[in-house]
Each structure stands twice: as structure tokens, then as C-alpha cells.
Amino acid sequence: MTAVSVEKKVNGMPKTSPEPRFDPVALAEAEAIRKRAEAEAEAARIKAQGEADAARVLAAEEAEKLRLANERARLVQERKQVDHDAYVAKKTAETAKAEADREKAEQADAEAEARAAQRAKEQQRAERWWKWGARGIYAVGLIIAAPVQFMHFWDPQHKFLIAAPGLLEGFALALAFGAAWAVAHRRDVRPYRIGIMAGAAIAAGVNLYGGITDKAIGLNAGIIGAIASLGGPIVLMTYEHGIAQKADGIPSARERRAAARAEAEADAARERARVERQAAEAKAAAEKAAREKAAEEEQERRDADRQAKHPDVWEVADALRAARGSAVVTEQIWAESWLLVTGSKTVGIRPEIEAQSRAAQAHMRTVTAMPVLGETSLINSQIKPRQKKDPNGPDGRRNNGGTPPLRRAGDTPPYSDGARRQIGRETAARRAGEGSPNDRPAVAKSSRPSVS
């Protein structure tokens, strides 16, 4: 049997190294798949982490919202409770105050009634003493004057004259009773008083004449008898006069003085109020005049300024003022004139100012939207300066165990012509954006010749 010698070749060239061969395209695809898987895993991890963070943030936000809602509800409840407590306290205070005011008013009324009762009692007592005192004086005067008259009119031959003292003294007494009746029935008491004084004067004259002419009576008895005949009716008439004034509602001298004093105080208060009102009116008139003067000066300044700075608008505004019969150019007339002349609703803005403003705004938008180049560009500002690697630090490469293989010239076998052409086409397609690594056809094994 004849031995067949097989010469091993790779890409049409003899094999020069016993080291295992590798496919660069397959390695690139594997590396791309690995990076894509890592990217997808990293993206999934980032997405999951983002979703977890979002869920955590959402849960925290919901918890915060719930806490804020609970806090607001608690604050609302506390505010309602505080308002209710304040309302209850207010009602309690109002009730206590009303009760205290009622008790105070009742106490004041009771005290007033007690004072009134005491005053009425005192008045009744004084009136009773005054009445009986006046009547007592009249009785004492009658006791003193009657004997004098009896002695003066006693005549054995004319015994009937013994009744003369009763006539004289009874005349005054009867008229006193008539005056009391007139007071009780609200009638005129003046005639009764005149009659009382006339009867008392006659009786006093008789007593005085008897004391002077009759030695048995004596001058002293005549004088005291005259005084008694006048004093009793005068005192009784004075009492009846007071009763009549009280019944008629006639104020006493003390009450008239108090009324006059109160009237004087009221007149003084009215005079002070009148003076204060006149002062307030004068002050208001002065302030109004000052405001009107300031308004006129401000209007003059405004008109002069507008006429000097905007004569075209002022001409139209003055025409509108004259047409409408207005005394001055009001703000409404000026705004309408500005709109008619410039076409702008905003007073102070002319077309050239509006055009300049819009041009400046457009320029600002352009400058804001354009990219920034140079050291302050958006790209350069995001690039961190390269840091020097520590020579004693670990190797950052992950796929070869940290130790790079020893490479020599000629270790990589040359590509075949078909493989080189295929790699060129794929490179051109990637540059043109016509395909992706997933769409590239597998050419490594198909284009490499078999090893025999």
C-alpha cells in the first residue's frame, strides 16, 4: 500500500506554525454580540433599576401625599376643634356676661327701687311732719289768739259778741280748708289765699287793737295775739302752696337751677360741636383745595410733557378733547389718540420701538439656540480630562486574564483574496450605513479553503 503524502496548506500557503488558527470576523462578531448582550443587560439593569427607583420614588411620593393629606386633615380637624372651642368659650363668655349684666341690671333696679322707696318714704315722712307741723302751728296760734279776742269782745250787755272770735278765726280756717280742696281738685287757689290773708289780717288787727285799748288784755297779749292770728294761716298757706306746686308739676327753685345748669352745659356742648364741625369742614375744604391744586399742576405738567415729546399724538388728542367738550386731555382720550396715531394699544410703544424689540427677541432666540463652540462648547464641557493610569494598578482588560499574549510578526496568517474583498465590502457597507453587524453574512468559513 502506497503512502500518500498530504501537504497541509492554509490560504494556498504552507503551514508555518503549529499554533491554533482563529477567525477575526468571527471574533469581531462574537465581540459585537457580547458587547450587545452586555449593553442589553446593562440597559435592562438600568431600566429595572430605574423602574425600581421610580416605584420607590412614586411610593415615597404617595406616602408623602398621604402624610400631607393626613396632616392637612389633622390641621383642619384641629382648626375646627379650635374654632369650636373658641365658639363655645365665646358663647359661654357671652352667656356669663349676659347673666352678669342681667344680675347687675337687676341689682341696679333693686337699688334704684330701694332708693326710690326710701326717698318716697322720706318724702312722705317729711310731708307728714310738715303737714302736722303747719296744722299744729295754726292750732297753737288759734289757742293764743282766741282768748284775746274773747276778752276783747266780752260784753255782758251784748253776750252774742262772744261768737265773734269764732267768726274771725273760723273765717281763715274755712278758707284754708277751701285752699286744700282747690289743690286736691287742681283748681285755682289764689282766691282762697287772698281770703285767708284778709281774715288773718282782720283778726290780727282786732287782737292788736284790744291789747292797746284794753288794759285787762295788755299790749304784750295784743301783740302776741296778732302774731298768732297771722302766723298760723301763713304757715298753713305755705304748706298748701307747696302741695299745689307738687300737684301741678311746677319745678322748685332747686330743680330750676339744675335745669338751667344742664341747659348751659348742653349749650356749651352744642357750641363745642359746632366749632369742631366748622374746623373739620374747613380742614376738609383746605385738603380738597390742595388736592385740586396738585391735580391741576400734575395735569399741566403731563400736558406740557406730552405736547413736547409727542406733538403728533397731542394734536389728535387735543382735537378729540375739543370735540367731546372735555376740559383737559384725559387718560382715555390720550390712549385713544395714541392708538389712532401709532396703531399700538400700549401707550408709549411706537412701531419702530416694537420692531426693534422684536428684532432683539429674534436675535436672542437665535443666540440661545445656536451651539457653543470652543472651550465652552457643550461637547467639550462634558469630556473629562484623561487621567493617568497607575502603573501598579490592576490590568483593566477583562477577556484575556489580565496578561496580553505575546505577538510576533507573521503570527497572523494572511487573508485570502475572497476574504479581503468581503471584508472591504462590509466595511464600505458599514460606513454607508447600509447594514448592521447582525445583517452581515458569515464568510469566514465559506471563504477559507479547506485544510487537507
Instruction: Please give the full DSSP string across 176-230, using - where no structure is assigned.
Output: HHHHHHHHHTT---HHHHHHHHHHHHHHHHHHHHHHHH-TTT-HHHHHHHHHHHH
Query: Who has greater pLDDT, 41 or 308?
Result: 308
pLDDT digits (tens, 9 = 90+) for 437-446: 444 444 444 3
How buried is 398 (Cβ within 10 angstroms: 0-12 exposed, 13-18 middle, 19+ buried)?
exposed
pLDDT tens per residue across span 299-337: 999 999 999 999 999 999 999 999 988 888 999 999 999
Q: What residue type is 25 in one-letter code?
A: V
Mean per-residue pLDDT over the chain, rounded:
77
**Global model pTM greater than 0.85:** no
Percent of the chain clearing pLDDT 70 (strictly above): 78
C-alpha distances (whole Å) from 364 to each of 354, 367, 374 are 15, 5, 20
Q: What is the pLDDT of residues 153-212, one digit of tens each?
A: 777 777 777 777 777 777 777 887 787 787 777 777 788 878 878 887 888 888 888 888
pLDDT number for residue 332: 92
7 in helix, strand or coil? coil
Average pLDDT over residues 347-362: 89
Q: Coil, strand or helix: which one is 330? A: coil
Banded model confidence at residue 403, pLDDT cuts 50, 70, 90: low
Task: Copy the grid coordinates of residue 393.
Answer: 494598578
